[in-house]
Amino acid sequence: MTRVIVAGGSIAGLGAGVALHGAGIDVHVFERDAGSLSAAGAGLVVQPELSRLAEVVGGQTLPMTHCSGRRYLGFDGRVGHLQRMPQQFTSWEAVHSTLLKSFPSERYHTGASVLKTDNVANGIEVVVSGLGTFAADVLIAADGAQSPTRRALLPDLEARYAGYVAWRGTVLERDLPQVVADFFDDTFTFTDARSGGHALAYFIPGEGLATARGERRMNWVWYVGADTAERDDLLVTKDGRQRHASLQRGMARDEVVEDLKRRAPLELHPMFARLVEATEEPFLQSIVDLAVPRSVFERTVLIGDAAVIVRPHTAGGAAKAARDAIFLAELLAGPRFSTDEALARFEREQLAYGRELLEYGVKLGKQWARL
Ligand SMILES: Cc1cc2nc3c(=O)[nH]c(=O)nc-3n(C[C@H](O)[C@H](O)[C@H](O)COP(=O)(O)OP(=O)(O)OC[C@H]3O[C@@H](n4cnc5c(N)ncnc54)[C@H](O)[C@@H]3O)c2cc1C
């Protein structure tokens, strides 16, 4: 039986675990983080690949919120008409916990970092912190945008900074003034910002993944222009550490958060400003583009954000991770191809799709972010 090791237990890695296990492959997932992994969690627009992974492949119901349409606001207070466009939303936390239900707990190892890999004949040996050395036919590196595996294999490849950051925040619906909760209800809401950029907001599942009105969580994103020096300054944490890609909740310096809240009423529609003001711990993501020139290196394959990072405007990062997971499992488990042929086919299709999505994200960035 094919044996697979997955480095990284987020959406791409755990998704690969679920899809491979469901296809009868012997798979173990090693996740570096020992905690609940929800610190970076925010809202996700549900795309078909994501519900396919959770519901069809995983056999679980994905907690989702719904809206019936989109509304575009202006920073000057304009309120546009509701355009009918039903959409479903979920959260990183909801996807992760749904996938976990479909995967045997004894095969999901937390606090387990993949430290070292060595190619051996027709396979790979992997050293995992605290657990020892494991042999496998294939290593799936789903270790994220900062992928240590990618950095070791492609040391000269750097992500390209897009010139703006995304501030994000979530607020429990019950903690919002009723008038604000009512204003955003049943709507995917967008606003432009006075100095360029835009913001968007939608409800996602709340505590305990509740989706009923009054129990949800509001999720917002505000794209803000920042040159490289400004971005680097924003990415210095409360305790003075320089981060390179993102700040999780609670990491942003107080003066940076105060400045964001001071600017919100000057830049955004008043209702959006109230969301920003009501958010206790906004968090930050530097917007970058990256696509690997190749994703298969003997028996190691990069998937998810380790291979291709797309802009959030595509609402496609999580769906791309789910797509990688499903497609790779189909090829590795199917009878038609040898392991090496399966990996070669995966690489061709994955990279073609990833580059297309990356370019689409750049185009949407130019059109929407105006930064
Ligand atoms: C703040 C933020 C908001 C986002 N919002 C959206 C959104 O709204 N919609 C959307 O579609 N996408 C969104 N994305 C992107 C989306 O989350 C990712 O595209 C998707 O989760 C796939 O990521 P991944 O599993 O490839 O990597 P990640 O989610 O980054 O996971 C990588 C995992 O690998 C682990 N790891 C790293 N190194 C090792 C190692 N050596 N050994 C073991 N484990 C290791 C890490 O701890 C981590 O859990 C967002 C991303 C961020 C950062």
pLDDT single digits (tens) 177-191: 999 999 999 999 999
Residue scoring higher pLDDT (85 or 36): 85
Q: Which ligand 1 atom is the nearest neighbour of the CA of 112?
A: 43
Assess whether pLDDT exceeds 90 at residue 371: no
* Nearest atom in ligand 1 to 168's CA: 1
- What global pTM score does this model have? 0.95
- Span 126-141, mean pLDDT? 97
- For residue 55, the 8-state DSSP code is I
* Residue 345 pLDDT > 80: yes
Nearest residue by C-alpha to atom 13 in ligand 1 = 317
According to DSSP, the residues that pair with 126 across neighbouring strands are 117, 134
Ligand 1 atom nearest the C-alpha of 221 is 8
Q: Kindly report the protein residue whose alpha carbon is nearest to atom 6 of ligand 1.
A: 44
Beta bridge partners of residue 90, listed in sequence order? 44
* Ligand 1 center from residue 339 Cα (angstroms): 26
C-alpha 13 to ligand 1 mean position (Å): 9
Structural domains of the chain sorted by starting position, each given as residue range(s) with its CATH number in brackets: 3-45+58-62+93-158+290-369 (3.50.50.60), 66-90+160-287 (3.30.9.60)
- Burial of residue 282 (CB within 10 Å: 0-12, 13-18, 19+) is buried
Can you give the pLDDT at residue 38?
57
Q: Report whether pLDDT(39) > 70.
A: no
Which protein residue's CA is at the shortest distance from atom 37 of ligand 1? 143
Average pLDDT over residues 254-277: 97
Is the predicted pLDDT of residue 130 greater than 90, yes or no? Answer: yes
Q: Which atom of ligand 1 is nearest to the CA of 37?
A: 49
Give nearest CA residue, ligand 1 atom 12: 317
Q: Residue 287 — very low, low, confident or very high, per pLDDT cuts 50/70/90?
A: very high
Report the C-alpha gap between 99 and 79 in whole angstroms. Answer: 38
**CA atoms within a 13 Å half-sphere pointing along the CA-CB vector of 93:** 18
**Does residue 35 have a pLDDT over 80?**
no
For residue range 1-13, what is the model confidence (pLDDT) as tens digits?
Answer: 889 999 999 999 9
Q: Minimum mean pLDDT among 164-168, 266-270, 334-338: which range?
A: 334-338
Q: How far is the CA of 11 from the centre of ligand 1 (A)?
A: 7
Give the mean model confidence (pLDDT) for residues 297-322. 96
Between CA 201 and CA 214 the distance in angstroms is 16
Among the atoms of ligand 1, which is closest to the Cα of residue 149?
Answer: 41
Per DSSP, 57 falls in state I
DSSP three-state, residue 167: strand
Contacts of 233 (CB under 8 A, 6+ apart): none
295 Cα–ligand 1 center, Å: 17
Determine the residue of 10, 218, 244 to mutate for testing ligand 1's pocket, defined as the one with the most ligand atoms within 8 A of the Cβ atom.
Answer: 10
Place of tokens 């999505």: 357
Please check the confidence at residue 120 and state whether its pLDDT lies above 90.
yes
pLDDT of 370 reads 67
| CA 285–ligand 1 middle distance (angstroms) | 12
Average per-residue pLDDT in the chain? 95
pLDDT at 207: 93
pLDDT at 1: 80
Question: Is the shortest distance between the CB of 31 and ligand 1 below 6 Å?
Answer: yes
- pLDDT category at 17 given cuts 50, 70, 90 is very high
Q: Is the CB of 44 under 6 A from ligand 1?
A: yes
Rg (C-alpha) for the chain, rounded Å, is: 21
* Ligand 1 proximity of 11 Cβ (cutoff 6 Å): yes
pLDDT at 368: 77
Using pLDDT thresholds of 50, 70 and 90, give the confidence band for residue 367: confident
Q: 147 alpha carbon to ligand 1 midpoint, in Å?
A: 10
Helical pair 11-22 and 317-333, crossing angle rounded to 10 deg: 30
Going from the Cα of 145 to the center of ligand 1, the distance in angstroms, rounded, reads 7
Percentage of residues of the chain with pLDDT beyond 70: 98
| CA 78 – ligand 1 centroid, Å | 36
Q: State which of 65, 91, 116, 143 you would mutate to test the pocket of ligand 1, scoring each by most atoms of that ligand within 8 A of its C-beta.
A: 143
Ligand 1 in reach of 123 Cβ (< 6 A) = no
1 C-alpha to ligand 1 centroid (Å): 29
